[in-house]
């Protein structure tokens, strides 16, 4: 009979399995409740799944909304309902969340259920705005009260622990894990295909690439993700203006992991350009986009912003650049010229972050 490392867990997830956190806990938890909260954009429902010893026992949709107030209300209400529906008074369990809303009223919940809380802090937002400062204070408040706290990067770890990086049993940095797998890729086509995945925002360098494609006709770009209608219209106008429509694939829709995997077989490099100053939240975190590219077996072209860039450079899994045309062009030429070397680097990078090994070591404090 298989021995499970964890007894009872309630975790959060999404349909994009970056990090494979749900996969890991499904394989290693006796009773697991997974709450999949979708992005608010165009969202109508969330999903809850119940697993018992690695097998799914129940799955159903629960209401959500694109309205900001209803979105968070329904999210919070659903969480509390699940606590009382799926866990009895006698069961001890850990609720593993990544947003302050998960911890509202936890003192009251503890009076009625044997619930411990774990906090995986995945972001930090710099700035002096009232809302941003209030949000960071709330995060810090719960961070100081919760027994088990993890950080998606050393930079967040340092900020949350008064300029010190902690690596203790229950407070440590845990970056995204990767499902390590080998993929065969070769460069045959005249066009060198670039891939961008994820939620699309104005600050992610796409306008730079449109301009780049205008001047470099041997490259194409596929954009697999969602953006709001205003931004999509703006980008379509730019694409038309630059006459690059035949080399830009941009359906503005969600792609499942399976669809993304199949589509990526025709791509050569994953791109992730960001603002490189410390005012950009990406500077502090471990971008899921980068780990997604690596898992797809794609060498990575990224800005020197997140600390993950150090690992990309260490394993020769891609090129770290500035956002200048010459820098991008030279980096892409280098990757194309030494493509096999970069593919080997991606394999080494993925082995280091293999989620089954990496999480087993990092989450030992949650074991029953």
Q: Can you read off the two tokens belonging to residue 367?
A: 């074991």
Per-residue pLDDT, 158: 97
Q: What angle do helix axes 325-337 and 339-352 make, rounded to 10 degrees?
A: 90
Report in angstroms the alpha-carbon separations of 212 from 176, 237, 249, 282.
30, 16, 15, 23
| pTM of the shown model | 0.87
Closest by Cα among 341, 262, 254, 250 to 296: 262
Closest by Cα among 312, 315, 349, 28 to 180: 349
Phi and psi at 251, nearest 5°, equal: -80, -10
CATH number for the domain formed by residue range(s) 192-352: 3.40.50.2000
Least confident of 15-24, 87-96, 335-344: 15-24
- Distance separating alpha carbons of residues 206 and 250, to the nearest angstrom: 11
Provide CB contacts within 8 A for 262, sequence distance 6+: none
pLDDT at 151 over 80: yes
Do 21 and 177 contact (CB within 8 A), yes or no? Answer: yes
Give the pLDDT band of residue 127 (cuts 50, 70, 90): confident
Domains 6-177+354-366 and 192-352 share a fold: yes
Do 12 and 102 contact (CB within 8 A), yes or no? Answer: yes
Per-residue model confidence as pLDDT tens digits over 302-360: 988 888 999 999 999 999 987 676 688 899 999 999 999 999 999 999 999 999 999 99
- Distance separating alpha carbons of residues 281 and 124, to the nearest angstrom: 6
Q: What length is written for the chain?
A: 368
Per-residue model confidence as pLDDT tens digits over 225-244: 888 888 999 999 999 999 99
Domain boundaries, the chain: 6-177+354-366, 192-352
Fold of 6-177+354-366: Rossmann fold (3.40.50)
Give the pLDDT band of residue 16 (cuts 50, 70, 90): low
Per-residue model confidence as pLDDT tens digits over 257-308: 888 888 998 899 999 988 778 888 889 999 989 999 999 999 999 988 888 9
Phi and psi at 47, nearest 5°, equal: -135, 140
pLDDT at 144 over 70: yes
- Distance separating alpha carbons of residues 132 and 138, to the nearest angstrom: 10
Cα atoms in the 13 Å half-sphere on the side-chain side of 280:
19
């Amino acid at each position: 009979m298989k021995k499970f490392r964890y007894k009872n867990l309630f975790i959060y997830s999404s349909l994009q399995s970056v990090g494979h956190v749900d996969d890991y806990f499904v394989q290693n938890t006796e009773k697991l409740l997974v709450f999949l909260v979708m992005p608010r954009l165009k969202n109508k429902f969330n999903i809850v799944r119940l697993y018992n010893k690695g097998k799914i026992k129940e799955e159903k949709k629960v209401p959500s909304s694109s309205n900001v107030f209803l979105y968070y209300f329904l999210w919070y209400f659903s969480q509390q309902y699940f606590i009382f529906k799926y866990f009895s008074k006698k069961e001890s369990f850990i609720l593993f969340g990544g947003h302050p809303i998960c911890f509202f009223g936890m003192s009251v919940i503890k009076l009625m259920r044997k619930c411990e809380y774990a906090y995986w802090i995945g972001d930090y937002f710099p700035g002096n705005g009232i809302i941003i400062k209030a949000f960071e204070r709330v995060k810090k408040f719960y961070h100081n009260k919760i027994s088990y706290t993890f950080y998606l990067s050393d930079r967040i770890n340092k900020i949350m622990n008064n300029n010190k990086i902690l690596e203790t049993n229950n407070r440590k940095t845990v970056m995204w894990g990767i499902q390590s797998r080998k993929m065969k890729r070769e460069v045959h086509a005249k066009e060198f295909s670039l891939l961008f995945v994820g939620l699309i925002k104005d600050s992610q360098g796409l306008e730079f690439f449109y301009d780049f494609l205008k001047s470099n006709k041997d490259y194409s770009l596929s954009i697999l993700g969602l953006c709001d209608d205003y931004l999509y219209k703006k980008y379509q106008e730019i694409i038309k203006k630059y006459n690059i429509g035949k080399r830009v694939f941009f359906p503005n829709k969600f792609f499942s992991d399976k669809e993304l995997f199949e589509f990526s077989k025709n791509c050569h490099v994953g791109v992730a350009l960001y603002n490189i100053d410390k005012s950009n939240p990406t500077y502090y975190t471990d971008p899921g986009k980068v780990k997604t590219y690596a898992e797809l077996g794609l060498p990575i072209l990224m800005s020197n912003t997140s600390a993950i860039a150090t690992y990309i450079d260490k394993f020769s899994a891609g090129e770290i650049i500035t956002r200048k045309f010459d820098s991008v062009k030279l980096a892409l030429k280098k990757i194309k010229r030494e493509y096999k070397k970069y593919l080997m680097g991606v394999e080494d990078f993925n082995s280091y972050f293999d989620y089954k090994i990496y999480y087993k070591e990092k989450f030992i404090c949650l074991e029953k």
